[in-house]
Structure 1
Amino acid sequence: MRSEDVINEQFRATKYAVGYDQFEVDSFLDRAAEALYRYETGEAAAHSLTASQVEDVKFESTRFTAGYDPREVDEFLDRLAAAFAQYERDRANN
């Protein structure tokens, strides 16, 4: 997974069903995209996000306001955490 994959990801919106707060999800994914970009460009500075932080992230729930489908977001976060874990392993081996 690359930073542009995170930027381009879209989730189904919820309104009457429980969803994840869109602003929180979007803010977190912006942070994730920037951290992935730093891995991609080989910046030596400490990265601001780790695989375990992606795995541990929690979002506020919404109901009767627009939110993102929790299942879709959770599945994407699983793939995102795996990408961070791979970058971390690659970095540790270099």
Structure 2
Amino acid sequence: MATDYDEVRPDVAESRNASLEALKSANSPDARSVVLELDEADTVDGVELPGADLSGEELIIQVIPQAADEFTCYSCFLVRHRSQLARQKNGHAYCIECEG
């Protein structure tokens, strides 16, 4: 007699059906109510830290221009040294990490 080894065993099929029925009968909240609860919590708490009024602060950053021996990778947009240049195609340079 031939045995079909790909067929699901009867004990496994029964446990799948039983667990599906248990999930259906469980009193779990639906996705919409959970999202509403999360949205309400965001508006009540807010995202601002107490005493963190930074409206009067000014951010000062020194921008250093790209050096002659550097390039900007067209894939990751990071400025790299020329020693990390993997290839150039259609005027765009790619670094070793992106080509790896």
Q: Which has the larger radius of gyration?
A: 2
TM-score (norm. length: structure 1): 0.26
Q: Report 1 or 2 for greater relative contact order, CA contacts < 8 Å, sequence distance ≥ 6.
A: 1
Tell me which protein shows more helix as a share of its residues: 1
Tell me which protein shows more strand as a share of its residues: 2
TM-score (norm. length: structure 2): 0.25
